[in-house]
Structures are given as C-alpha cells and as structure tokens.
Amino acid sequence: MTDRDLPPHDDAVAPLDDDMRIFRPRRALPTDVVRPTRAEVNLAHLRHNLHVLRHSARGVPIWAVLKADAYGHGAKAVARTLERAGVDGICVALVEEGVELREAGITVPVLVMGGYAGSAFREFIHHDLTVVVHEIGQIGDLAREVRHADSSGIDVHLKVDTGMGRLGSRREEWQRVAEAFLAHREVRLDGLMTHFANADVAEDGVFDEPLQLFEEATALFTAAGLPPRVRHAANSAALLRGRAGFDLVRPGIALFGVDPLAGAPVERALPPEMAGKLRPVMSVHSKIVALRQLTAGDAVGYGSTWNAPRPSLVATVPMGYADGLSRALSNRGEFLVHGRRAPIVGIVSMDMTMIDVTDIPDVALGDDVVLLGAQSAKSSASKAFSASSTESGLAEITASDIARASGTIPWEVLTNISRRVPRFYREA
C-alpha cells in the first residue's frame, strides 16, 4: 500500500487489510517504510475479556479503567470497542485522558480518578467528565466553577482512604467533608469510592478492614443526608475474587488479558470453565534485521557483557529500551523465533536487542520475532522453513513473564511500550 491510502493527519485510522487497521503514531512514516517493530492489539480478545469479566461481575455494571492510554493499548480504539460492546462507563487518571475520549465521540460516563484537576474544573463541566473529589478544598473550588459556568450543579464521586494511603479523604475528615457538601449544594455527592492496597494478596482478611471503613463512611454520609447513589471499590483482583462488587466495578489489567491473581491460591468468582480464560490483548512483533556467525569468545553489545561460549549465531532485532523493552532484560529475557525461545544476549540498547539463535534451525534474515505474545513454529518461519516445525507447538511470552524477568509487574510492562511502536488493530 502507499502513503496516499492513509488520511493525512496523525492518529488517523485507515484500513490496512481486511481485519487490520493502523493507528498512526505521531512521528511514523508511511506504513510501507517503517521498521518491522509493531504492536498488535487484538480487539476480539478485548471483547472476550469483557465478556469473562461480566460473568465475574454477575450483573454489576463494568466501568473499564483506561488510564495511561488504555494501559498502552490506545485509549480511543479500546474505548470505542468497549463502548460498542456495551461497557457501562470508563475511568481514566487524567482530565486530558477524559477529554481525548470525549473528542473521540465516547458518550458513556467518564470518571477522572487521578486527583489532579488544577484549574481544569471547567473542562470537567464542558466535557461532561465526572470529578473524583478526594480533598475537602476541592468542594468549594468546584462550587465556584459551577456558578461561574451557569450550571445547575455537578455530580461528583468522593474517594475515601481505607488503607491505601495515597489519595482519598481520611476518616478524621469525613464529618467536615460532609459539612462542605451541605454548604455547597451545587456539588452533589453522587458516588462514594475507595481503592484497595492489597486486593491481589492471597489472604482472606485483606478486605476486612477496608470494607469496614468503607461501610463506616457510607453510614456517616447517609446520616448527614448525603446517601451516595453508587458505591464502588473493586479493581481487577477484587472483581475476580468476587469481592466488593457494590454498584459498579473498575477492572483495568484483566481487560487486557493479564490475571492479577495468576497462581494465587484464592477463591474466584468465575465458573470453572472460564477461569484462566483471559486472553492477552497486546502482542509485540519484529523481524531479524541482522544475523552474524560468531566464533567462540566474540563479544556482543555495549560493555561486551556477553561473549559467545561456542560458535554462535546471533540475531539483531530492532527494538530497544526506547521502545519500552526494559534494559533490565539484558542477558535475561527471551524472544520467540520459529516458535522457540531465544535468549537475549548482551545489553539491550536504545533501538536494538540481540538474541542467540544458535539452537534454532534455519534462522534467516527477515524471520519474524515475537517479543510479547504467542508464536507457532509453523507460521513464524521464513518460506524455506520446513523441518522440526511439528516438534514444538505454540510458544508464548506473557507480560507476566517479562515482568518476572525484569523485576517489575505486568502493568508496567504494558504501559512501557512506547509511542514509537505503532499499534495495529486486529478485529478478529
């Protein structure tokens, strides 16, 4: 395809082939000349995960958490897909993330949870975004803005701190917060929310104290004549455990196919046939752009931290830490080639990473490499590939695998995939 098939401005969505669209990042060149490194976002898997979470939620409305550009998947495309699939609301961290979704035509409720509103309250009113109030001074500020905007009032959600120690009104302030709401009737307490610090910790008691405090807050505001219309607390882990459903749930990571409870010995709210059935939404692909036969002792990468222990075939893949591949994977991580694992050798550099493919037969320049996701032995081979394709089935590298190898969590692995990596959207 040529450049002219694509609309001219950035962020344009254009047909690529039957079930793929490209979401053009800001600095990308025409698609037929960009380097082969790309992220694929499987929207069918996203819809599947929403379906699984619906079972878990047992009828409680789902507000998808799409902060940080939908955990790196592209907030607009993800929000449109989920809205069409019937999601009940969306949560973001920043007001600009909310504005981006409204400008993309999203009409379901959007809750802005990140706490920082600055002088942007008029943006909330103008774009019909729901403010999370977490601090008493915000109530008077908001009331002033509402009067200024000639608006009849604004519904807000109040966040209370039940042990997270991050954002949210603390118990000793609740009475004064209630009085502030009563003094500024144009700011209406519509929702009451909290966030768990330990929802993924495999102990039964982790919800006890937070839930008791949350009930205490509910009772206090109700007694003050401010009964919240909706209450919510559950992130993915709490939802999958069937805890703290209240009136809506706020899953993030599970929508993208990562099970925050993987391996944890906890009870789940899913019917057994659905457990473990979340599907990864993002995969990252590239190709081998250089291949070198080394003799024993030859060094690879900055600082010569890896030396070939034997005659070795080493491939260069054009993705590095500036693309979001952690430098902590140096001499630790793995990529997939021909459906088999190839260890990263040497230091991950800004734009490139090397892998040892000595033990993989028939590797050639241009062969597909999977950095995140699954690869089958057959489909990944270059045209000449034939032997040994049956011996290995489907190999997979998950965000959790990468997190483990690099000492972080899957949330950071996904949000790190940088803007430099173009996102391709697959509908089926």
Ligand X SMILES: *Cc1c(COP(=O)(O)O)cnc(C)c1O
Catalytic residues: 67, 302
Q: Which stretch binds ligand X (CB under 6 A): 75-83, 251-259, 339-347, 387-395?
A: 251-259
User: What is the chain's Cα-based Rg?
Assistant: 24
Task: Tell me which amino acid residue 297 is.
Answer: G
Q: How far is CA 298 from CA 235, 282, 323, in A?
A: 49, 35, 27
232 binds ligand X (CB under 6 A): no
Choosing from 113, 206, 288, 319, the residue that interacts with ligand X (CB under 6 A) is 113
The smaller minimum CB distance to ligand X, of residues 143 and 254, is found at 254
Type of residue numbered 215: E
In the complex, the smallest distance separating the C-beta of residue 190 from ligand X, rounded to whole angstroms, is: 17
Per CB under 6 A, contacts with ligand X among 259-288 are 260
* Closer residue to ligand X, CB minimum distance, 97 or 334: 97
In angstroms, rounded to a whole number, what is the distance separating the alpha carbons of residues 426 and 55? 24
Residue 69 sits at the vertex; the CA angle it makes with 250 and 96, to the nearest 5 degrees, is: 90
Q: Roughly how many angstroms between the first and final C-alpha of the chain, as a whole number?
A: 21
Tell whether residue 157 is a contact of ligand X (CB under 6 A): no
CA distances from 98 to 129, 157, 185, 260, 408 (A): 7, 15, 25, 25, 28
CB of 10 to ligand X, least distance (A): 27
The tokens for 416 are 């790190």
Quickly tell me which residue has 């659905």 as its tokens.
Answer: 274
Q: Which of 321, 318, 362, 320 is nearest to 339 (CA)?
A: 362
324 binds ligand X (CB under 6 A): no
Burial of 249 by CB count in 10 Å (0-12 exposed, 13-18 middle, 19+ buried)? buried
Centre a 10 Å sphere on the Cβ of residue 270 and count the other Cβ atoms it contains. Answer: 18
Stretch that binds ligand X, among 23-31, 141-149, 246-254, 414-422 (CB under 6 A): 246-254
Among 235, 312, 389, 406, binds ligand X (CB under 6 A): 235
Residues in the chain: 428
| Least gap, CB of 309 to ligand X (angstroms) | 41
In the set 45, 73, 80, 250, which binds ligand X (CB under 6 A)? Answer: 250
Confirm or reject binding of residue 138 to ligand X (CB under 6 A): no
195 binds ligand X (CB under 6 A): yes
Nearest approach, Cβ of 21 to ligand X (angstroms)? 25
* Residue 421 touching ligand X (CB under 6 A): no
Using the rule CB under 6 A, is 252 a contact of ligand X?
Answer: yes
The DSSP annotation for 271-296 comes to: -GGGTT-----EEEEEE--EEEEEPT
The correct pick among 253, 282, 347, 371 for binding ligand X (CB under 6 A) is: 253
For ligand X, give the closer residue by CB, 94 or 275. 94
In the list 57, 60, 62, 65, the residue contacting ligand X (rule: CB under 6 A) is: 65
Rounded to the nearest 10 degrees, how much is the dihedral formed by the CA atoms of 277, 411, 119, 106?
-30
Q: Which stretch binds ligand X (CB under 6 A): 32-40, 171-179, 231-239, 295-303?
A: 231-239
Judged by CB under 6 A, the residue of 251, 320, 373, 410 near ligand X is: 251
Stretch that binds ligand X, among 8-16, 235-243, 268-276, 373-381 (CB under 6 A): 235-243
Q: Smallest distance from the beta carbon of 314 to ligand X, in angstroms?
A: 37
Q: Which residue number places its CB atom closest to ligand X?
A: 252
What letters, b where the CB count within 10 A reaches 16 and e where it falls short, cover 155-171? ebbbbbbbbeeebbbee
The footprint of ligand X (CB under 6 A) covers 65, 67, 113, 195, 235-237, 250-254, 260
